[in-house]
Structure 1
Amino acid sequence: MQHVEFTVDEDSASIIAHFQGQELSLPALWLRERCQDAVQLDQVTQQRLFDPHQLENDVSLVKVEKQGELKYGLTFSDGYEGSYDFTEFYADFDIYDGAPTPVSWKAGFDTSKFHVKFDEIFSDEGFMAGVEKFLTYGVLIVDDVPRESGSVLKVANRFGHVRETNFGNSFEVYTRPDYNDLSGQPVPLGPHTDNPYRDPMPGIQLLHCIQNETSGGLSTLVDSLSVLKQLKAEDPEGYQLLSDVPVRYRHVDNDVELIERRTMIESDHTGKVTGIAYSPRLDYLPLLENDQLVKFHRARKRLGALLGAPEFEWRFRLEPGQLQMFHNTRVLHGRTGFDATEGLRHLEGAYIDLDAPKGRYKAIKRQTKLAQKGA
């Protein structure tokens, strides 16, 4: 969370926020909408008991009176008077909304920071540690997961709600010639985003290793945030094209055909880059004038090269009893090829949405804070 301080001038009835070297006078309408008393705001749900859309456009702040540390009584031109705790405004200046600040990483990073044990995640303390690692690095490795079918769903349901797709609640990854995806063949799979043809894309993927008797089939993970920094520095024009021009992604199965158009570089509503939609098996070049198309393709090609570069790609053996959980668009996954005659390589996977672990993390933080206040 970025640091913010408030300057209050009672004589002029003005409040100024100071953050990131900026100053912003808090508008009266903005303050009026954020009233905090129980008559105006339900204290359990934090939902308003009035319609703020009906407030007067020209409402003004007519009086400010100090009541305590960062606590003030505010009086407005429409007659409303209320007590305000200014610490409640901190959330408005937090672009991560209470979640940890993401930390990008490359190959060679201390990956021990990604690990948590299966039993630990079922306590609030262990769960919070696991989610904090995941939200920070975009990946979590869960150790000592029972080597049995369905274990991936136990982990998935602890962190969120299972997202059912045409692959089912969960899906098996092992060699089979008639499977509707290349993951069922022993070929190498480059770093990619799963299901870019869906709206919305799965936010999180989990892959649990039940058995691995092959010498190949190494798992690979790469943090696209690190890769995108490099691409933007090398080719800002191409980077912008990948951020602005939608690409068509397509998946065909026996009973469904899924098509979605989205940009390769993904950003949230604040403009903050969150990851990429990258899958060379499923995407199609957009139709552009030739010079723009060449620039687009050049950037796409360089993006693919960086994703597979040794300086960015973490390559490791996912051992039986380990589960990798990763942010589907931030941390791209893949695997090296393997010889299926050596033995069975069996993984079970599932998807959950990104908002659930974020929401549970923030709820536990809020409950802990309330408990501390009441102690």
Structure 2
Amino acid sequence: MFVRLQRKLQTQLLSGLRSTRAPLRVKLQTRACASTSSALRLHSDHLVVSYEGTQMRLNFVWLRDHCRSASSYNSKTNQRNLDTGSIELNIRPDTTAVEGGHLVLTWRDGHVSKYSLNWLAQNSYERKKQSTVQPRILWNSDIYKNKNVPSAKWEKFMSCDEELKQFLQHYLLYGIAFVDDVPATVEATEAVSKRVSLIRETTYGGMWSFTSDHSRGDSAYSQLALDRHTDTSYFQEPCGIQVFHCLKHEGTGGRTLLVDGFYAGEKLRQRSPEKL
């Protein structure tokens, strides 16, 4: 018996504000403390702060919107007092400074914004783009030949949080993972699913069984062989994880074919990059 988890073949693309224009030469007063390991470079709509080996590209609108002064931000409720829509899109500061580990900006209306460099490093969109991307291990049929498929035993999976953690880490790395020795019941399958996440309702329901009885207009309910495909791609939010459990099998055939779409995409990129 096995439970199969299949990775959703969808990648979220991170994007940020980028300017292709050359730096605007404006008369801004800039100063930095010699004791602070940071540097500033001013551009037309953003500034670049170098801090502890990281370069943060900070848009002026974003900076004004994230001002932590009492008039702009309620520190008790962690909510803005500032109306984001009131910020001019061409806003830029009159003066900039790095003082005592803080970036200090004075805007043209006289408002002063002060940001901890450490806070900017932790919260800016630029730092998040530079953060480590979740690694992936791409695979082909060798993963089965070499018996490297990640798996966990059902009893330990259900009772040990450390086993669950390791299982999820393997799932994130490979996009597939197996739970072995699961009792051949819908209830046990549901328990395994809920151990990982909430069960999402679809047009088929939450948990459902299917066999070759033609009860639905779907090839999965027939004896036809199913070639490589992804499920629920037509949904506004396709399934992130799919769980399959073979409860009973009679006759021949019915083997499950798994394909790593990211592996196929990487091969295409290597062989025909012009087609991407």
Instruction: Please tell me the TM-score bracket, short chain as reference.
Output: 0.5 to 0.7
The alignment's TM-score, normalised by the length of structure 1, stands at 0.49
Please state how far the C-alpha of 1:36 moved relative to its aligned partner: 6.2
Q: Which residue is 2:23 aligned to? A: none
Please state how far the C-alpha of 1:80 moved relative to its aligned partner: 2.3
Given the superposition, is the C-alpha separation of residues 100 and 9 from structure 1 closer, same or farther in structure 2, using an over 3 Å criterion?
closer
Match of 1:132 among 169, 190, 194: 169
1:232-311 to structure 2, matched below 5 A, reads: 232-235=269-272, 239-240=275-276
Q: What is the CA–CA distance in structure 1 between the aligned matches of 2:225 and 2:252, rounded to whole Å?
A: 13
Q: Please tell me the root mean square deviation across aligned C-alpha atoms, in Å.
A: 3.8
1:120 aligns with 2:157: yes
Match of 1:105 among 129, 139, 156: 139
Q: Which residue is 1:355 aligned to? A: none
Work out the percentage of aligned pairs sharing the same amino acid. Answer: 24
Q: Which residue is 1:172 aligned to? A: 209
Q: What is the CA–CA distance in structure 2 between the aligned matches of 1:145 and 1:83, rounded to whole Å?
A: 51
Q: Which residue is 2:92 aligned to? A: 59
Q: Deviation string for 1:148-187 (max 9, x for gaps)?
A: 1133322333333322222121221323244432222233
Match of 1:148 among 162, 185, 204: 185
Q: Which residue is 1:15 aligned to? A: 49
Q: Which residue is 2:58 aligned to? A: 26
Task: Give the match's secondary structure for 1:126.
Answer: helix
Please state how far the C-alpha of 1:134 moved relative to its aligned partner: 1.8
Q: Which residue is 2:116 aligned to? A: 83
Tell me, yes or no, if the aligned pair for 2:48 and 2:58 is still in contact at 8 Å: yes
Given the superposition, is the C-alpha separation of residues 80 and 198 from structure 1 closer, same or farther in structure 2, using an over 3 Å criterion?
closer
Runs of 5+ unmatched residues, structure 2? 1-35
Please state how far the C-alpha of 1:192 moved relative to its aligned partner: 0.9
Runs of 5+ unmatched residues, structure 1? 1-5, 67-71, 241-375
Q: What amino acid does structure 2 have at the position aligned with 1:153?
A: E
Q: Which has the higher strand share?
A: 1
The alignment's TM-score, normalised by the length of structure 2, stands at 0.64
Look at both structures and tell me which one has the larger radius of gyration over its CA atoms: 2
Q: What is the CA–CA distance in structure 2 between the aligned matches of 1:117 and 1:64, rounded to whole Å?
A: 55
Tell me, yes or no, if the aligned pair for 1:37 and 1:83 is still in contact at 8 Å: no
Q: What amino acid does structure 1 have at the position aligned with 2:236?
A: D
Please state how far the C-alpha of 1:42 moved relative to its aligned partner: 5.7
Q: What is the CA–CA distance in structure 2 between the aligned matches of 1:213 and 1:89, rounded to whole Å?
A: 56
Q: Which residue is 2:11 aligned to? A: none
Q: What amino acid does structure 1 have at the position aligned with 2:150?
A: F
Tell me, yes or no, if the aligned pair for 2:68 and 2:114 is still in contact at 8 Å: no
Tell me, yes or no, if the aligned pair for 2:69 and 2:113 is still in contact at 8 Å: no
